[in-house]
Structure 1
Amino acid sequence: MRSGMIALAAGLLLLRFLAELPPLWSLALLSAAALPLLYRRSYPLALLLLGFAWACLNGHWALQQRLAPALDGRTLWLEGRVAGLPATRAGVTRFELEEIRSRLPLPPRLRLSWRAGPVPLAGERWRLAVTLQRPHGLANAFGFDYEARLAAAHIGATGRVKDGERLRAAGVLEDWREAWRQRLLALDSNGRGAVLVALVLGDGSGLSKRDWTILQDTGTLHLMVISGSHISLLGGLLYALIAALARWGLWPARLPWLPCACALALLGAWGYGWIAGLEVPARRACLMLTMVMLWRLRFRRQGFWLPLLSALLLVLLVDPLASLAPGFWLSFAAVALLILGFAGRLGHWPWWRAWLRAQWLMALGLIPLLLALGLPLSPSGALSNLLAVPCVELLVVPLALLGSLLLLLPPLGEWLLWLAGGVLDCLFRLLESIAGLAPAWQPIAPPAWAIALALGGVLLCLAPAGIPLRPLGLALLLPLFWPHGAVPAEGYAEVRVLDVGQGLAVLIRTRQHAWLYDAGARHGDFDLGELAVLPTLRGLGVRRLDGLLISHADNDHAGGARAVVEAIPVARLISGEPERLPAGLAAEACREAEWRHDGVRFSTWQWPAAEESNARSCVLRIEAYGESLLLTGDLPAAGEAAWLAARQRPYADWLVAGHHGSRTSSSAAFLQALAPRAAVISRGRHNAYGHPSAEVLARFSALGIAVHDLAREGALHIRLGARKPAEGIREKAGFWREK
C-alpha cells in the first residue's frame, strides 16, 4: 500500500515541474493504458500515471478558467461577493471576488484593487466596473513568481476597479469576522494589534514592511500567520487536555476518552481554521491534522509515515495546483523532517534536548528545499525559532485566542490582549536585534545536481547513530554554496534586460566585472530594485557592482536605485541627472568616456545641448567581439540625431528601444543609420502610455528589425559576442506562465 501511495503522490507532484501541459488526448491514452495495470504487480506504475493525468487535467481546467484573451484589458461591469478580508495599504484596497455574474463568461475568482475608493467588507456583494487582465506578473530568472501564486489560488484574472456600488451587505458571520478584526486593531495592544489580527484571523495585511523584513531575516515568517504549527498546537492542546483528565481519573468512565480527544482536537482545529477564513495554508493544516487524528484513532500501528502520506495525497487529490505554492513544500517537508529525526530513536529524551534537536532538524534539513525554491537562508533561523516558537505558540497564541473570546468581558479580554501584544513587542525587539547581526542571505542559485546531492547529504546527516559515513553528509551540502554560476569568457559579455514592468533595468556582466544600467521604478512599498533587480544579482552571485549607471532621474529608471545601493557595494554611481536623484544617492555626472573590462568595450555619452530630463539620458554602448548593444534611456529623436553626428561609424546589433518604444524615440533616420538586428522593448503590460507605439513598431517592421517585447517574453538574456539569438524567460517557464 505504501509504495502505491508514494507512486500516486509522485505522479501528482510532477505537475510542478512541467513547462507545458500534455494535450488532453494524450492524458486520455495515458489513463487508458494505466487502468489494466491496477490489478497487477505493476500497480504503483499505474497509480503514478493516473496521478500525473489527474494533475495535468486540473492544470488544463485552471488555464481554461482564466480570462479570455479577447477580454484582456477591457473594462466590464460585473457583480460578485467579496471573499476573505480586504487589505488596505497606501490608499489602495486589494480584495478577491467570487460568485461572479456578468453578461460575458468570466473566471470564478478575481483579485482586484481599488485606489481611493470605498473599502468593501468581507461577504458584501458589489456591482463593479473593472478593467480586467489575464494573470500576469514579472518574469525574471530569480525572485517571486506572482503568476504561480495566482495559479495556486485559482485566480483567473486580476483587475483595477473604476467604480462600483454595494448591492448587499455582508452576512452575519462575515460581518462578525470583520468587526472582530476592527476591534483587535482598535485595542491598545502595545502597537501590535496588526500582528494579533494575523495570529487570530489569518490576515497579515496590516504588518509593516519592516515587520516582514525582520521575520524573513530571522526565519520566523511562519509564526506570524495562521500556519500548520498553530493549528496543530491548538489541536494538540485540546487532545492533551482530555488525555490528562483520563489519566488523572477525572474523565467519565462511560465515555471512551480517545475518540472524544480526537473529535475535540479536530473541532478546535477546524474552528480555528474557519475563523481564519480557511485559506489554503489553514485548510492544508486542518487536513493534515485530520489524517493524524484518524491515524491515532485507528491506524497507529502502521507507523508515523502513514498520516503524512495520507494528508499529502488528500491535499493533492483535492487540489493538485497546491504544489505551485512554496508553503506546500515547506510544511510537508518540515513534518517529514521531524518524523525522520525522531522516529525509531531509543530511550526517552528530556524536553529541552528534543526541542534543540527539532531546531537542528529544521535548520539543516530545509536548506536544499529553500534554495531550490529560490528562498533566502536565515543564518539566525535556528536561534530565532528556538526562542520565538515557544513564545508565540505557547504564550501569545493562547493569550490572543482566549482574550478574543473574552472580549464579551471587556476588562479581562482587553487585558489578555494587551499582555499578548506586550509579549509580541518584546519578541519583535529581540528579533530585530538578531536580524541586525545576521540578516537573511541569498546564495547563488544552485543547479539541480547540487540540490539532489544536498538532499542525500541531509538524509545521511539525520540518519540514526551507527549509520556509517554520517559526517560525509555535511560535505555533500558544500556544492550548494560553491560558486558554480557560469561567467562569460574573456572578451564576451552577458546582458540581462530585466522585466521590471514600465521601467528599465539592464545587467551587464563580463568575466570579472558587473554593471547595472537603471534599476526600475519604486511606487511606495513596491520597489522593483528590491523585488526584481536584487534577487537577480544575488541569484547570479553578483555581490558587488563596478558601476550603477542611472540614465536619468525619472522614477521608472531611478526609483529602485536606492534599494540596490543599500544592499550591495557599488564602486561608481553615474547619472545623466545626478542632482535629481532620490535622496541619499550621490552620483557623478555622465560624460563622454570609454573603458574596457575583460576585453569588452564600454562607452558613455550625453547630449551636450540637452535641457529636459529625457534628453539628458546617459547613453551606454557595449561591444564584445564586434557585436554591440546600445542603451539610450529615454533619449528623444533630436538626441538620437546628435549621437549619430558624434559617431564616425554608428552601428549596433542590439538596440534597447528608447523611452520604452515611445514614438518620441527610435526615429526612422536613427534606425536606418544604426541598422540593428533586433530591438528590445522594456515596458509594462497594459501601461497607461500606450507603449510601444504602433508607429515605432511599423518602423521596426519596415527595416526588418526583430522585436523582443519584455511584457510578452519576460526578462531577456543576450550573450554579447556569441551572435546567438536572445532567450526570453517565458520560453522555458512553467506551464502556469502566460506564453
Structure 2
Amino acid sequence: MIQLLCLGWIIGIATMGKTFPILQSLLIPLLCLFTLSLFFKKMVLKHRLSGYFKCVQLCLAFSLGITLGHHYANQQLHERLQLREQQMAQVEVIAYVKNLNQLSEHSIKQNIQVLNQQADEVQWQALLRNEVDSNQQDHLELGHYYRLYGKLLPAHSYATEGVFDIEQWYIQQNIMADFQISSMQKLSEQQVYALGYGRYVRQQHSVLNQIQLYIEQQRLALRDFIHHAPLKHKGLLLALLTGDKSLLSTDIEQLFQRFGMSHLLAISGPHVLIFAVLVCWGLHQLICRYRPELYLKWPKQYVLILPFCSCVALYCAFVGFEIPALRTLLSSVLISSLVLLKQKIQPLSILLFSASILLIFDPFSILSAAFWLSYGACFVLLRIYQTVQQQSSEQAIQTRTQMLKTQLKILIESQWKIFLALFPLMLIFFKQIAWITPFSNLFAIPWIGLIIVPLDIIAALCYGIFAPLGSVVFQLNDLCLSGLLLLLQLLDWLFKPALQPIAMNIWVWLSLTLGLIILFLPRGVVPKVWSVLCFMPLMTLDASKNEFELTVLDVGQGQAIFIRDQDQTLMIDMGGNYDESRFSVGKQIILPFLSVQGVNQLDQLILTHLDQDHKGGYESIRQDLPIKHVYSNEKIQTADSSQFDYCQQGLNWQWSDRVKMTVLSPKAENLVYAPAEKNEMSCVVYLQLKHAQPYQNFLLMGDAGWQTEYQILQDYPELKVDVLVLGHHGSRHSSAYYFLKKLHPKLAVASAGFHNRYGHPSTMLQSRLKDLNIPLLTTVEQGSIRFIQKQHQISVEVQRDARQWLKH
C-alpha cells in the first residue's frame, strides 16, 4: 500500500503546471475515506480482510497519492511563479555570488542571489562576455557582494508543442530571470549592512553556508588547476569528474551526442558509488592492518556504513547535488537504514521511496529529464539484477571463465534493455535517437566506468593532498581518454553515426510505452503477449483518418505554418534565426514539432519568399526532412529528393473533397521582381474548408503589404475570409484599414517574436483591429495557435494554455 501511495505521489507531482479541477475537489473526500479505511482495518475488520476491501484500500491509497502530489506540486509552483520577472527593464541590483559559474566560448553564466527585488532573495542568471583580454575584476567572485547595473531579461519560451521549454527549465532551476550586466561595483560586507541586508550577511556566516561556499571554491580551484595543466582533454576530464562542461569543446560534445553517449558527460550514480567504494576500500585496508579487532565487535558492513554514506554525501555536495547523485544519496541512506534495522531490502521499493523523498524536498526535479532517465535506467538495472540473482541461485559454482562470460552477457543485455526501456523517454525529451548507442556503450561504459572515472577520482584526491601527484595521475588518465577518443573517431569515420529524428504522435507513444512496461515487468504480473497488442498501432496507424488542422507555430520573429488534412501535409514557411548555426529554428523547433505530430516527411512546402525569418529553418534541415515538392517566388536550392516549382497566382491544390488551396499572388509576370521586392512578391495562400464552422476560409499573407492587398481586392472582389494571418508579422505597413474593413475576418493572427525590435504587431495595426472589432491572437501572447477540426466544428487551441508557467 505504501508503494502505491508513493507511486501515486510521483504521478501527482508529474502533473505540475496542469489544472485538473476534479483532483482539486477530491483531496478532502479521499483523505477522509482513506483514514476511515485504516480505522476499519485496525479496529473493526482486523485479520478478516476480504480481497474486495484490500482492492478498494489500494485504489484509495493510489488516488490519494495522486491528489496529494498534484496539490503539493501546484502549490509550490504557484509560490515560485510569484517571484518570476515578467518585464524587460534597466535595473540596479544588490547581489551575492555563492555558486560556481558556467563558462562557454563567448559568455559566462553566473547564478546570483538578488537581495533588493523581492521580500526575500531570488536567484537570477547573470550574463557576462567571456573575452580573452578581459580583466579579472570583470568576473564575479565567489563569496562577494556586488552592486550590478544592467538589463533584466525575463525568460520566454518558444511555446510550440515538442520544443524545449526554456521557461520550464528556468522554473526547475529556480532562476527567476536573466540579467545582462553592463557594469559592476564590488561591495564590502559593511556596505551591505548599511544598505539594510544585515540579516542575509549573517546567514552567509552560518556553518552550513560556509561549508557550501568552501566546496564551490574548491570546485573552482580544481577547474583552474585542470585548465592550466598540460592536458589534451582537460574539458572531458573535468566533465566526467564534476559534471562541469565549462572546458568541454564543442567537437567532443557533438561526438558524444552522435554516439548517444551525452549522459556519460553528466554526473551519475556510478560516479558517486566509485568514490565511496574507493574510500571505503582504503579504510577497510587500514582497519585490517591496524585495528582488526573492530570487526570482532561489529560486522564489516556496520563499520563502513557511516563512512560510505558520508562519502556519498560529500561527492553529492561537490558536484552541486545533481539529481542522479541525490538519487544515489537517498537510496544509500535508505538501504543503510534497512541494513542497520535488519530489514529486507526490496530494490523497487527503494527506488519509489527515494524518488518520493526527493520530490518532497525538490518537487521541481520532476521537470528534469535527468530525473526520469536516472530512475528509468535504475529500474531496468534492478530488473536485470533480480534476473541474475535468480539465475545464480539456480546454478552451481561457476569457474572464472564462466563468470567472465556471465559478466559480458550482463553487459550486453543491460545495454539493449536500457536502450529499449528509455526509448520513450528519449523521444519525449530529445525527439531523436542514435541507433548506434547500445553498441558504442558496450566498450565506452566499461572503459569510462572502470578506468577513466576511478582514475579521475584518484587524481582529484591526490590533488587535494599533493598537487603535483594529482597532475601526474590526471596526465595518465588523459592518455586513457586519448585511446577512447581514438576508437570513437575511428567508428565515427567508419559508420558516420547521426542522431535520427523520430516522428511519433502521443497515442502511438503511449501504446509503445505501455508495451515496453509490460515486457519489463516481472513474469507472472501481466502476460507478455499483451505487449504485442500495444505495438499494433506502430504498424496499423492510418494517416487518412487525421482531421484537418492548421497551426501557426511560435518561431519567434518569423513565420511557420503547418497544415494537415487526412494523409496530406504542408508547411508554409519554416521560420529562421538570423544565425542558424547558433540557434537553429529548423532543428530545434520545426523538427521537434513535426516529431510529436508523427510527421516524418512533407508533401509540400511553400516558402512565401526568401527572407531569413521565413526560409532559414528550411535551409538548416533541407537534408534531414524529406519534402516532395517545394514552391517559392524565387529559385532555391533543394534536396535531390525534392521537386521545385515557382509559386504564382492560379496555382491550386484540391487535397480532398473538403479542402482546397489557391495561390492568390504574385502573378507569373511579376516573379522577375521577387529578388528586389521580396515582401510584396510574397506568395499569398487562400485555403477553403467546406462544411466547417465558425472558420472556413483562411488567408495567409506572408510578408505582403498594402500594394499586394490592393491588388488582391481588385482580382478577388468577392473574397471571403474568416481567419487572416496578418502580413509582415503585423507591421504598420501591412493590413491597411480598408483591406481589413473589406474582408472583416472573424479572427486575425500575427506571428511575431517576444520583444522584437520592430515592435510587431504594431500599435497602429492593433488600433485598426480594435476599431473594426476584429479579435487578435499573437504567437507572443498565445504561443502556437492551432485550428483543429472536430466533426464539423473548428476550435482554437493555444499552446500557452498547456502549462501554468507559459501563461503571462
Do they superpose with TM above 0.5?
A: yes
1:370 to partner: Cα distance: 3.9
Q: In the superposition, relative to structure 1, how do residues 554 and 372 fare at CA in structure 2: closer, same or farther (>3 Å)?
A: closer
Of 527-536 and 425-434, the range deviating more from structure 2: 425-434
Give SS of 1:128's match: strand
Q: In the superposition, relative to structure 1, how do residues 622 and 434 fare at CA in structure 2: closer, same or farther (>3 Å)?
A: farther
Q: Which whole-Å CA distance do the structure 2 matches of 1:334 and 1:630 have between them?
A: 49
- State the partner residue of 1:14: 12
- State the partner residue of 1:409: 468
Out of 361, 364, 374, the residue aligned to residue 331 of structure 1 is: 374
Q: In the superposition, relative to structure 1, how do residues 23 and 555 fare at CA in structure 2: closer, same or farther (>3 Å)?
A: same
Note the residue ranges of structure 1 that are not aligned, 5 or more in a row. Answer: none
2:110 partner letter: F
Out of 78, 84, 88, the residue aligned to residue 63 of structure 1 is: 78
Q: In the superposition, relative to structure 1, how do residues 477 and 47 fare at CA in structure 2: closer, same or farther (>3 Å)?
A: closer
Q: In the superposition, relative to structure 1, how do residues 738 and 217 fare at CA in structure 2: closer, same or farther (>3 Å)?
A: farther
Of 531-540 and 302-311, the range deviating more from structure 2: 302-311
- State the partner residue of 2:400: none
Of 350-359 and 130-139, the range deviating more from structure 2: 130-139
Out of 591, 594, 602, the residue aligned to residue 661 of structure 2 is: 602
1:277 to partner: Cα distance: 2.1
Q: Which whole-Å CA distance do the structure 2 matches of 1:719 and 1:378 have between them?
A: 33
1:236 to partner: Cα distance: 4.2
- State the partner residue of 2:122: 108
- State the partner residue of 1:728: 798
1:485 to partner: Cα distance: 7.4
Q: Which whole-Å CA distance do the structure 1 matches of 2:438 and 2:154 have between them?
A: 41
Q: In the superposition, relative to structure 1, how do residues 304 and 116 fare at CA in structure 2: closer, same or farther (>3 Å)?
A: closer
- State the partner residue of 1:33: 32
Any conservation in 2 of the 1:634–1:659 contact (CA below 8 Å)? yes
TM-score by length of 1: 0.87
1:531 to partner: Cα distance: 0.9
Any conservation in 1 of the 2:4–2:58 contact (CA below 8 Å)? no
Q: Which whole-Å CA distance do the structure 1 matches of 2:146 and 2:574 have between them?
A: 39
1:526 to partner: Cα distance: 1.2
Q: In the superposition, relative to structure 1, how do residues 212 and 297 fare at CA in structure 2: closer, same or farther (>3 Å)?
A: farther
1:420 to partner: Cα distance: 4.1
- State the partner residue of 2:391: 346
Q: In the superposition, relative to structure 1, how do residues 280 and 194 fare at CA in structure 2: closer, same or farther (>3 Å)?
A: same
- State the partner residue of 1:94: 109
Q: In the superposition, relative to structure 1, how do residues 549 and 89 fare at CA in structure 2: closer, same or farther (>3 Å)?
A: farther
1:400 to partner: Cα distance: 2.3
- State the partner residue of 1:319: 362
- State the partner residue of 1:291: 334
1:551 to partner: Cα distance: 2.7
Structural mapping, 1:121-200, within 5 Å: 121-132=141-152, 134-167=154-187, 173-190=215-232, 192-200=233-241
Any conservation in 2 of the 1:620–1:631 contact (CA below 8 Å)? yes
Structural mapping, 1:486-635, within 5 Å: 493-522=548-577, 523=579, 524-578=581-635, 590-599=647-656, 600-604=659-663, 605-606=665-666, 608=670, 611-625=676-690, 627-635=696-704
1:385 to partner: Cα distance: 1.8
Any conservation in 2 of the 1:21–1:60 contact (CA below 8 Å)? no
Higher helix proportion, which one?
Answer: 2
Q: In the superposition, relative to structure 1, how do residues 366 and 263 fare at CA in structure 2: closer, same or farther (>3 Å)?
A: same
Structural mapping, 1:456-467, within 5 Å: 457-460=516-519, 463-464=522-523
Give SS of 1:725's match: strand
1:588 to partner: Cα distance: 5.8
Q: In the superposition, relative to structure 1, how do residues 486 and 556 fare at CA in structure 2: closer, same or farther (>3 Å)?
A: same
2:714 partner letter: A
Q: Which whole-Å CA distance do the structure 2 matches of 1:709 and 1:101 have between them?
A: 35
2:502 partner letter: Q
- State the partner residue of 1:676: 745
1:7 to partner: Cα distance: 0.7
Any conservation in 2 of the 1:66–1:107 contact (CA below 8 Å)? no
Q: Which whole-Å CA distance do the structure 2 matches of 1:115 and 1:728 have between them?
A: 36
Give SS of 2:93's match: strand
Any conservation in 1 of the 2:327–2:358 contact (CA below 8 Å)? yes
Give SS of 1:629's match: strand
The CA deviation string for residues 363-407 of structure 1, in whole angstroms up to 9 with x for no partner, is: 232334444556434432222222211111111112223334445
Q: Which whole-Å CA distance do the structure 2 matches of 1:186 and 1:620 have between them?
A: 59
1:366 partner letter: L
- State the partner residue of 1:73: 88
RMSD: 3.8
Give SS of 1:182's match: helix
Q: Which whole-Å CA distance do the structure 1 matches of 2:23 and 2:507 have between them?
A: 32
Of 205-214 and 267-276, the range deviating more from structure 2: 205-214
Q: Which whole-Å CA distance do the structure 1 matches of 2:771 and 2:702 have between them?
A: 23
Give SS of 1:652's match: coil
Q: In the superposition, relative to structure 1, how do residues 185 and 567 fare at CA in structure 2: closer, same or farther (>3 Å)?
A: farther
The CA deviation string for residues 37-87 of structure 1, in whole angstroms up to 9 with x for no partner, is: 465545984686377436523532332333568852333221223454333
- State the partner residue of 1:361: 417
1:695 to partner: Cα distance: 1.5
1:495 to partner: Cα distance: 1.4
Q: Which whole-Å CA distance do the structure 2 matches of 1:520 and 1:152 have between them?
A: 28
Q: In the superposition, relative to structure 1, how do residues 26 and 385 fare at CA in structure 2: closer, same or farther (>3 Å)?
A: same
Q: Which whole-Å CA distance do the structure 1 matches of 2:530 and 2:31 have between them?
A: 43
Out of 257, 262, 269, the residue aligned to residue 221 of structure 1 is: 262
Any conservation in 2 of the 1:85–1:203 contact (CA below 8 Å)? no
2:94 partner letter: E
2:4 partner letter: I
The CA deviation string for residues 275-315 of structure 1, in whole angstroms up to 9 with x for no partner, is: 22223443333323333343444445243334323312221
Of 147-156 and 530-539, the range deviating more from structure 2: 147-156
Number of residues of Structure 1 aligned to a counterpart in Structure 2 = 726
Note the residue ranges of structure 2 that are not aligned, 5 or more in a row. Answer: 42-56, 132-137, 190-209, 396-402
Q: Does 1:384 align with 2:440?
A: yes
- State the partner residue of 1:394: 450
Q: Which whole-Å CA distance do the structure 1 matches of 2:590 and 2:425 have between them?
A: 23
Q: In the superposition, relative to structure 1, how do residues 631 and 229 fare at CA in structure 2: closer, same or farther (>3 Å)?
A: farther
Q: Which whole-Å CA distance do the structure 2 matches of 1:119 and 1:574 have between them?
A: 50
Q: In the superposition, relative to structure 1, how do residues 307 and 517 fare at CA in structure 2: closer, same or farther (>3 Å)?
A: same
Q: In the superposition, relative to structure 1, how do residues 323 and 576 fare at CA in structure 2: closer, same or farther (>3 Å)?
A: same
Q: Which whole-Å CA distance do the structure 2 matches of 1:225 and 1:461 have between them?
A: 26
Any conservation in 2 of the 1:730–1:737 contact (CA below 8 Å)? yes
Give SS of 1:336's match: helix
Any conservation in 1 of the 2:24–2:71 contact (CA below 8 Å)? no
Give SS of 2:111's match: strand
Out of 651, 675, 695, the residue aligned to residue 720 of structure 2 is: 651
Of 418-427 and 310-319, the range deviating more from structure 2: 418-427
- State the partner residue of 2:306: 263
Q: In the superposition, relative to structure 1, how do residues 212 and 646 fare at CA in structure 2: closer, same or farther (>3 Å)?
A: farther
2:125 partner letter: R
Q: Which whole-Å CA distance do the structure 2 matches of 1:314 and 1:49 have between them?
A: 17
1:594 to partner: Cα distance: 0.9
Out of 535, 551, 570, the residue aligned to residue 478 of structure 1 is: 535
1:565 to partner: Cα distance: 0.8
Q: In the superposition, relative to structure 1, how do residues 341 and 550 fare at CA in structure 2: closer, same or farther (>3 Å)?
A: same
Q: Which whole-Å CA distance do the structure 2 matches of 1:96 and 1:485 have between them?
A: 49
Any conservation in 1 of the 2:455–2:474 contact (CA below 8 Å)? no
Of 199-208 and 701-710, the range deviating more from structure 2: 199-208
2:108 partner letter: T
Give SS of 1:56's match: helix
Percent identity for Structure 1 against Structure 2: 25
Q: Which whole-Å CA distance do the structure 1 matches of 2:567 and 2:23 have between them?
A: 48
Any conservation in 1 of the 2:83–2:176 contact (CA below 8 Å)? no
Q: In the superposition, relative to structure 1, how do residues 251 and 385 fare at CA in structure 2: closer, same or farther (>3 Å)?
A: farther
Q: Which whole-Å CA distance do the structure 2 matches of 1:577 and 1:287 have between them?
A: 61
Structural mapping, 1:435-474, within 5 Å: 436-437=496-497, 439-447=499-507, 451=510, 454-455=513-514, 457-460=516-519, 463-464=522-523, 470=528, 472=529
